[in-house]
Structure 1
Amino acid sequence: MRATKKIKARHSLASVQKGWEAFQKMSGMRHIANDKDYEEVVALADALVDIGAMDEKHASHSLFAVLADLIYAYDQRNYRQADVHGVDLLRFLMEQHDLRQNQLPEIGTQSVVSEILAGKRDLTVTHIRGLSERFGLSPAVFF
């Protein structure tokens, strides 16, 4: 019985391989082995974004999700990001939103913000909750 299943699997595999080769030629989707592959897969993902495939109800959403996973895996292998600490993120957000220390009521007074930026104080859960709501970010990014 097991031998029969292997024979059937081989026949199915041959069909899958033919279909996969045709699909790769037609779509450009494949394992990302180098920067050229990366650029082609990113272009395909961008085209899918343009037609609305990020929406989970879109017919091509599953294809977009697979491409996004391939892109993410390649990025993780080749472009490791340094860990960003909550204070570094706070500095970045302040710069991007052109904010001064006295414009962060989620943290408190200017002196409290200054102490946090100087490393003399840590962000509290209350600070993080307020900042994540203000900037539309997950609280996890501050930890």
Structure 2
Amino acid sequence: MILELERVRNIWPEVKDLLSVPHSDKQYKKLLKALDELIDEVGNNEKHPLAPLMETVGNLIEEYEKDNFESIDSDPVEVLKYLMEENGLTQKDMSELGSQGVVSEILNGKRELNIRQIKALGKKFKVSPAVFI
């Protein structure tokens, strides 16, 4: 165990920004960017070598959001419907989710959002992708 801690101590300066709970908006945004890049790299592949890192970064972001943002106690589809209504969007405006059939299935609760769609919705509505999880 002491040898492992020594190895961590040697590389810690290089990885501490990626593996520490953020304590400022700047650190939080840096982690969001890292998560975005990890999602691009890992996608839904749970066996990808960076999948555990993606999960860890997601947990660090979630910890920050829990302490710093008002929680939304709605399911992802309700959040999506709310954001669509607030922005005057219809099903036809949601092409980033897929075909009209896919959008309809998502809005009717017959299909869950995948990582690509969650990421796209976060960008479209300028919100944390976590609101759709």
- In 1, the alpha carbon distance for the partners of 2:5 and 2:109 equals 51
- In 1, the alpha carbon distance for the partners of 2:32 and 2:80 equals 30
Counterpart AA for 2:57: L
- In 2, the alpha carbon distance for the partners of 1:54 and 1:35 equals 28
Could you say what the CA RMSD is over the residues aligned between the two structures, in angstroms? 3.5
- In 2, the alpha carbon distance for the partners of 1:16 and 1:93 equals 46
> Which has more radius of gyration?
1
Q: Which deviates the most, 51-60 or 70-79?
A: 51-60
Q: How many pairs are equivalent?
A: 94
Contact 2:31 2:61 in 1 (8 A): yes
Counterpart AA for 1:15: E
- In 2, the alpha carbon distance for the partners of 1:39 and 1:68 equals 12
Listed as ranges, the matches of 1:1-143 within 5 Å are: 11-12=2-3, 14-15=5-6, 17-19=8-10, 21-24=12-15, 28-84=18-74, 92=82, 95=85, 96-98=89-91, 131-133=108-110, 136-137=111-112
- In 2, the alpha carbon distance for the partners of 1:132 and 1:35 equals 34
Identity across matched positions, percent: 21
Q: Could you list the per-position Cα deviations for residues 17-56 of structure 1 after superposition, in whole angstroms to 9, with x for gaps in the alignment?
A: 514524425x633221111111111111111122235421
- In 2, the alpha carbon distance for the partners of 1:23 and 1:90 equals 37
Structure 2 unmatched ranges of 5 or more: 93-106, 114-133
Structure 1 unmatched ranges of 5 or more: 1-8, 100-129, 139-143
Q: Could you list the per-position Cα deviations for residues 62-92 of structure 1 after superposition, in whole angstroms to 9, with x for gaps in the alignment?
A: 100100111111111111224348xx66963
Shift of 1:93: 8.2
Counterpart AA for 1:18: R
Instruction: Indicate how the Cα distance of structure 1 residues 54 and 77 shifts in structure 2: closer, same or farther if over 3 A, else same.
Output: farther
How high is the TM-score relative to the length of structure 1?
0.48
Runs of at least 4 residues off by over 4 Å: 88-91
